[in-house]
Amino acid sequence: MATETKTAAAEKSGKDSTLSDKFHNAAFINEYGKLESLRAVRQNTLFSVILVNIEGFEGTQSSLKDPKMLATVQKVAAAIISAVRNSDVVGMTDNKQIVIIMPETDYFTSLSLIRKLSHATDVLLRDGVIDAAVAYAQAAFPRDGKTYDELLMTAKYRFTDRKNSLWDKLDLDDKLFWEIVEGLFSRGYKGFDNSCFDAGMGFELTEFIMDQINDLIMKEIKRSAHRKAVAYFSARKISASLPVAKGLAVSGPLSSKIYLAGEAGDNIREIRNASLIILDDPRLKETFFTFYLTENSGYALVCKENWGATFSCFHTSDHYMVEGLINKFYKEYSLQEQLV
Amino acid sequence: MSQNRILLALTDKEDIRVLTGYLSGVGFELSLTEDGAAAVERSMTEVPTIMIVDMVLPVIDGERLFKIVRHNPHTSKIPFIFISNNAVDIKGFKPGLDSFVSRPLNLEQVDGRLRQAMFQREDAHGGAKGIEGKLSHMSPPDIIQFLHMNKKEGELKLTLGSQVGHIYIKEGDIYNAVFEGVEKEKALYRLLEWNEGGFEFMPKTIDVPKKIHSGTSNLLMEGMRQIDEVKRIKERFPDQKNLLKMKVEPANLPKDLDPVIYDIVKLMKVYARVKDLVDRCPLPDYEVYWTLTEMLSRGFIEEQKASDEETRQGFLSPDQTVNIRERIINNFTGIGNYNYAKIFLLSTSSVLVDAFLDMCCTRIPGLTLTQKTFLSEASVGAQFGEVASIKLQEGMDIVIFSLPIIRNMGPVVKSFSTNLVGLILLWDDDVGADLNELVDAKKEMVALKKCPVVHIFAGEGEKVGLEISYRKMFMIKDSEPIFKLRTQEKGIVFDIFNELFGDLLKQGVA
């Protein structure tokens, strides 16, 4: 021990031997979280935390004494450790909840990491390695709190807050992307969170409402070019002549990530400021979607073309719905995450 | 440096097969090495556009290769795309310029990263300063002549205080000029006048469309002539602060007039102040002034002296501007990330929005209609989204955001309300309009944002009972006014905005 540095000793004692070498105990993780928040304040950098909720795991030491539960937690922890980056730190909070501290990570990257983690734990569930559902909630500095404890509180609050969202009310986690989309049109939602409307010939709204909303989003993105957001626009065919692509062509560098999804059309190499997701899926020929997520708000629009140039549309301002739809879209089409 | 050469440093046969097939198929010139040392050598001899590198390479690994290439000034700007099984921390990694692609390779993702890296690289190259100096030492015409003679390509940026103008030059020819929302010759001629401030010329690839078609020498001569003419006969032109009014019906104007006159008549439907007309008309200032003078002398229009409020440079005083800006930044959570705040204009019909904007824009100095709104001057189409803006100090704008069709548009209202600082509710006595939607929108927004609200009734009804029922319906206190929008009382728009901004300054908003 005499030859070990203090940090190494703390790190060694911080490993939770019942789980994995890279899994740290509450004392270490609390200290690390606090230091990370101090560093973020001092150096004006970012960091995020992700809390993991394992169904049936009540967050007590006694529940870890149940061999089955311990095995589940170990499997989940191992899957998480293999999915996170080398810079991320995984451990257990005082309340026996798995937490991941991610230095230099903003809100959007933490959402990407949740998708990656959830893919890893979904595989365990699918293969019967575990039989408990795993849920994730994140919080990012400084958006959701200035200290580590505040971030943990926000992440915890999100678990309960999400229960009020349409996503959880309809239990959409277990459904496929297109199954969810199909189910949204027929329910006749009305209100400020979720709403349905018809557009096209014979309706109050014309079919151009979709272009108008996309234009609205593009303007928001371009007005604050330094602000981060993600936007997904689907089209029958991606081409440089799409209104969205034209809007992007005349814009300078943007901090937002913009994706265009659909079949490859003309002059796609001329499209600027966007990543293309080339999908040859017949469902994208009759159903269009727009997902827009910022740090403060979310918006999703899904429109299905019916006979006679009319459209059934659903749109939502529910953040969890927007996140859920984006996650499902990623999962369904095996899109890869860019974690930087 | 080849424009499209990619240096691949890969060892995995499957990666090589997939990437070389795809990249050569889309027209890139490829150079392949299978170890890090060879990649370092090639990066210096060939200087590729982008490097795609496996993290695990023989001799010199991917991370070390990255450090060597990044530290060499000749190769430091080459973007890297790393192929790895998982993302790792690399010192000097520039998100946006460099990126990771995880295995198994997804070609769409690779394509996205390539595209991103190429544009970022262009921007990074464009950021390099070429020449800079003071306009008092070298005037804009002299700089342009110098660049023209040397057939330079790049962006000439002129700065005067907080004002910035851009002139895009390719092969020595002027492609376009942009200054405070105006472009082409109009912007160029305004910039030619500057004799103080600074300039920078940044050599870079210019891909803006050619919007100025005259030769550089002609442009400079014509520009200087117009500037001299404006100075010489300034007294004959209408005063910038005054208002202009049509004396004859536009439909009764003769048919064979200069087309510029018809353009100005169209603009006069929206703008009344001389300054606004000159600013909004795409023709050079001298030509607009000349045409206005001509129209005055022929009796098509008349000049009216503006009231004190209307002669101000901006609708808000400098103190008000600073206070409102501070209030917005300090009191609205998260607003610091935005360079603009929104006022929602919620109405039961787009016709009402047009009527309201028409009144505002012809009267309120400093309020600018968005181009789309101006183009849809026929006012038939729904006014959706940003319709006008008022500039505050230090790059902050207040945007008037219209959502005329409230029915089932709740999520749009809620999602785009993040930086909301005020609400204008506008309705009339059209029995077909669903006022409940408007009432619900007010309740939702006030609960969410606690922002000030002004109410405007644009109908003809004068019955006392009607106002009482509106007050009850919208829960308007007796101390709060319901403004009545009448075309003959155009000054009302000042009261509306004064009420809104007054409330904003008074309120301890959350």
Give ipTM to 2 decimals: 0.85
For chain B positions 70-89, those within 8 Å of chain A (CB to CB) are: 86-89
Residues from chain B that touch A87, judged by Cβ atoms under 8 A, are 89
Please name every residue paired with B484 in a beta bridge, in sequence order, or none if there are none.
B457
Q: What is the dihedral of CA B366, B371, B377, B378, to 10 degrees?
A: -160
User: B419 to chain A: nearest residue by CA?
Assistant: A296
Q: Which of B11, B7, B95, B4 is nearest to B51 (CA)?
A: B7
**Tokens standing for residue B163:** 């004002």
Main-chain phi, psi angles of B203, to 5 degrees: -65, 125
Q: pTM of the full predicted structure?
A: 0.67
Contact A338 B339 (CB under 8 A): no
Domains in chain B: ranges and CATH: 5-118 (3.40.50.2300), 131-229 (no CATH), 237-306 (1.10.10), 318-506 (3.40.50.300)
Could you give the percent of chain A with pLDDT greater than 70? 90
Q: How does pLDDT run along chain B (510 residues), one tens digit per residue? A: 445 789 999 988 888 888 888 887 777 788 899 888 889 888 888 888 899 999 888 888 888 889 888 888 778 888 899 888 776 677 777 766 788 887 777 777 787 778 777 766 655 554 445 788 889 888 999 999 989 988 888 889 898 876 788 999 988 899 989 887 678 898 999 999 898 888 988 887 777 778 888 888 899 999 999 888 888 887 888 887 788 888 888 888 888 888 888 888 877 776 777 887 888 788 888 888 989 998 988 888 888 877 665 555 556 666 667 777 777 766 555 555 567 888 899 888 878 888 888 777 666 666 777 755 443 443 334 567 888 888 776 567 888 888 766 678 889 988 988 888 889 998 887 766 678 888 888 888 888 877 889 999 887 766 667 788 888 888 888 888 888 877 666 667 777 887 888 777 766 443
pLDDT tens readout for residues A223-272: 877 788 999 999 999 988 888 888 887 777 788 889 999 998 888 888 88
Q: Round to whole Å and give the CA distance between B158 and B165.
A: 5
Which segments of A67-176 does DSSP mark as H helices, in order?
Answer: 67-83, 107-126, 148-161, 166-169
Contact of B329 with chain A, judged by CB distance below 8 Å, is answered with: no
Task: Indicate the residue of B100, B108, B441 with minimum beta-carbon distance to A277.
Answer: B108
Q: Which residue of B has its CA nearest to A295?
A: B334
CA-nearest of B94, B13, B84, B6 to B42 is B6
Interface subset of B 149-208, CB within 8 angstroms of A:
none
Closest-CA distance, A105 to chain B, in angstroms, reads 12
More confident residue, B326 or A290: A290
Assess whether the previous peptide bond of A67 is cis (omega < 30° from 0): no
